Amino acid sequence: MKLADLLTLAFWKGISTGAVDKLPTLMYVVGHFTRADIPAFSDFKDLTAQIAAVRSTFTSVDKGVKVVTFLDGGTVEKLVILRDTMLLTPATSKSLWELGKLVGVPKITVDPDPERELFYKKNMDILLRDKPDVFEKYAINDAVICVKYLERLIDMYAGILGKRKAPATLTAIGVDLLMKKWKTDLKMDPLEVIGKQKVVSKIYSKRLGYYKTEKVEVPLEQVAFYLPLATECYHGGRGEQFWFGPAFVDDWTDYDLAGAYPTAMALIGFPNWSNLRQTTKLDDFTPGTLGIANVRFEFPKSVRFPTMPVRSENGLIFPRAGVSNCSAPEIALARSLGAKVTIMHGVVVPTDASKPVFRDFIRECVAKRLSFKKGSLDALFWKELSNSSYGKTAQGLHSKRVFDLRDQEMKDLPPSKITNPFYAAFITSFVRAALGEVMNGLPQNVCVFSCTTDGFLTNATAAQIAGASSGPICQLYSESRDMLTSNPTILEVKHRVRQPLGWRTRGQATLIEGQADEGDGVNIVLAKGGIYTPQEVDSTRLQNSFITNLFLNRTPSDRIEMATKTGIRDMVNFDADLVEKETSKRLNMEFDWKRRPVAVWDAVGPDHLSFATEPWDTIDQFIEMRRYWESFAIETPRCLKTVADYRAFAISVMSQSSLKDGGSKYLKRTDPDLNRLRQSLCAAWRNSKAGLAKGVDCKTAQHFADTLTDAGIPCKRSDIENARSAFKPKNCPKTPAVIIALTKLLTVFPSLEIDTLVTSRDGIDIIAAMDRPNPFGINSENGAFVSTEDA
DNA sequence: CGAGTACCTGACTTGATTGC
DNA sequence: GCAATCAAGTCAGGTACTCG
């Protein structure tokens, strides 16, 4: 059936039952997750040319679909605008069931038995056969929810912007509202706000065969010059796991910066783009400055959480020293933490703080949100508007490929009307800086367990938190907060637990729940870090114990099942239907090595490897480390669950890092140090190098092999015969095992030149961490926490 | 929409085995 | 003892995909 046929049928039924007396020429067709429905139309191929794929589903963007319907014996052309409620729903309530609750239409249950219910939903044809009346009700109910929701949305839009329309996405409403604020209320020119101008350009039109003049929006020249640097200075949120494994038992609190991104946005004053200037003066970069820079930095050893972001393939890293592209708030913070900072390339945009560009918009969103009941559709709607506007300032900065339906190819997501890298860089930098200021303000004996974008988990007391959140950045944050909500509080408590478990960025669970009675969910911290829990495991508590068991009992070969749906590309290119496909993914609950282990031990209760961390000295150390980890664990099955596992990895790391420059290629996974030593010795013997002489220091290959084996280096005759390539000097890592073996060999071959065999580099040493005590003073007998002050 | 992975592919190295 | 052979292991780069 074609889309047109469906509409004809609907009109015909509407007229014949008297429900419809006038036919519209322009209409919205709405569904929830239209990716499931649209491909079912027989003219799907033609439709794709007129609709767009947004966030993996279908909607109309800048134009509608022309549809010809047959009514009263004649043909009538209608314009259809497609909408997907999925794209118009606040982030927390994506399911149709949630949506139904928001508009007051509950979803219909088809069977009282939950198992039958699930079965019917997966096999709608059987439901139609068994209970046709229920089927019809159920099917229509979904449509009712969508229509009611869209009507509500159109009403809301009209109430705010005075025009009756349904935009394609929620964020589009936010941008429209912001534009209105700028133009009507604040009398600002949107182009001036984001540093652009209109110019007339001549474009040759192939179709018309002559030049057309067109007005295009381009960045002001003095701004354009620095856009690449500003884009480099824009990063996402800070996410790190500072501790691996089970923590000690204590009062742990999960804090969140209240409304982080909107709060930072509200601080931006009206920019004077034409007076933008280059500077390398540190004092030009204050916490509130709209400024970006490429800087060299070095933090003192005493700073536990360095705050300068450095981009890597695996996300943001915060090393002790290096080169960072960041914004003014982080530069100011680094200086106040005692870091040596040198600005190599810096740009500052003067702003008028008395004319903030986003504050009124945010304030209106916050006021509107607070005027509605918490959790209601309106409240969620307004929250989404302010939160999503930050994302729009960053849209299109880092290239993101999206599938273009019309041209059937991947294209870059274009910038939005309010994309501006200076803003995006400032907003995110300010939030990271606020987080960094608090974490570094805590006493050394307080443990910070993890952090994600705008929150962190710590065993600090309320008084310690208060003491840590009084720095200049927090002050500014508090002022902005006060201005927006008349409440200067900056940190909110999200969860309280007694013992957390952590493995990687965005990977935390709860071993012992908290005892707060503030409601459900407060006592459990759970961030699954990309791990799927089965559908039947539905409550947070069940999911938490599922994840915890997964972690404690994991093996390298564990896989987790997940359901994926046919993607848009496959639907369009191969005419594939939307089906669920069961796939499995390797379970990865190992550390991400964004920090360096500083003290390692086997924890008790639950029994598992545990370690505290410190920052890497440089980004290169991290990059190297990640490479070692990937080759060690992801290809060879191995989890780090005990100190013995850790030791094997630590030796592998030292072996590889001390060789570097090609020498570390093809090191063995198990006993890399001794295997390489054997290889080197065999080549040395065959070529009479490194103080060995073939036929003199052992008559036959077999004899030499036996001698090595006796010294603790397993060796076979074939190993010597296979040593066909030239002897490579200094090609052997200097691990404790290698030194012991060589010392033994020296008694057999006194002329052996150890320095010719063994590398002179030191490499990355995470072996020594096994000898260091837990800095937070665990009593290893029972796992109980002993504060360093008492100990 | 950014962050973080998993998976695929093709080229290269290594170590066990075999025949001379 | 040496050369040839082969399967398994290793490496590097690119891409697709999901979650929060």
* Triad A238, A243, A248: Cα angle to 5°: 135
Report the protein residue whose CA lies nearest the C1' of nucleotide B14: A666
**Strand C bases, protein C-beta under 7 A:** 1-4, 9-12, 16-20
Distance A222 CA to B9 C1' (A): 46
Token pair 């420059």 is found at A661
Q: Are A246 and A611 in contact (CB under 8 A)?
A: no
Helix (H, G, I), strand (E, B) or coil at A478: helix
Q: In this predicted structure, what is the pLDDT of residue A575?
A: 63
DSSP secondary structure letters along A189-211: -HHHHTTEEEEEEEEEETTTTEE
Q: In this predicted structure, what is the pLDDT of residue A672?
A: 80
Report the protein residue whose CA lies nearest the C1' of nucleotide C15: A401
Which residues neighbour strand C (beta carbon < 7 Å)? A 401, 410, 506, 527-528, 530, 532, 562, 564-565, 567, 569-570, 627, 631, 635-636, 664-669, 686, 700-702, 717, 720-722, 724
Tokens of A748: 């057999």
b/e per residue, A396-412, with b = 16+ CB within 10 A?
ebeeeebbebeeeeeee
Tokens of A480: 């902005």
> Hey, where are the domains in chain A?
89-168, 354-412, 615-771
Phi, psi at residue A155, to the nearest 5°?
Answer: -60, -45
pLDDT in tens, A610-634: 999 999 998 888 877 777 776 666 5
Distance A592 CA to B5 C1' (A): 11
pTM, two decimal places: 0.84
Beta bridge partners of A53: A58
Q: In this predicted structure, what is the pLDDT of residue A628?
A: 73
Phi, psi at residue A403, to the nearest 5°?
Answer: -85, 125
Q: Is the CB of A719 under 7 A from strand B?
A: yes
Q: In this predicted structure, what is the pLDDT of residue A677?
A: 85
Q: In this predicted structure, what is the pLDDT of residue A460?
A: 94
d(C-alpha A198, C-alpha A393), whole Å: 19
Report the protein residue whose CA lies nearest the C1' of nucleotide B13: A666
Q: Which residues in chain A show pLDDT less than 50?
A: 779-791
User: Of A560, A227, A610, A262, whose CA–CA distance to A421 is shortest?
Assistant: A227
How large is the angle between the packed helices A472-485 and A328-336, nearest 10 degrees? 140
**A481 Cβ partners below 8 Å, 6+ apart?**
A258, A259, A263, A487, A488, A489, A490
Q: Is the CB of A235 under 7 A from strand B?
A: yes
Distance A709 CA to B4 C1' (A): 44
Q: In this predicted structure, what is the pLDDT of residue A459?
A: 94
d(C-alpha A391, C-alpha A14), whole Å: 42
Tell me the nt nearest to A699, Cα to C1': C1
Distance A732 CA to C4 C1' (A): 29
Q: Is the CB of A506 under 7 A from strand B?
A: yes
Q: Is the CB of A61 under 7 A from strand B?
A: no
Q: Is the CB of A666 under 7 A from strand B?
A: yes
Mean pLDDT over the full length of chain A: 84
Q: How many CB atoms lie within 10 A of CB A555?
A: 10
Q: Is the CB of A725 under 7 A from strand B?
A: yes
Tokens of A233: 């200075």
d(C-alpha A731, C-alpha A727), whole Å: 9
- How far is CA A440 from each of CA A208, A454, A782, rounded to the nearest angstrom? 64, 15, 30
Distance A547 CA to C16 C1' (A): 26
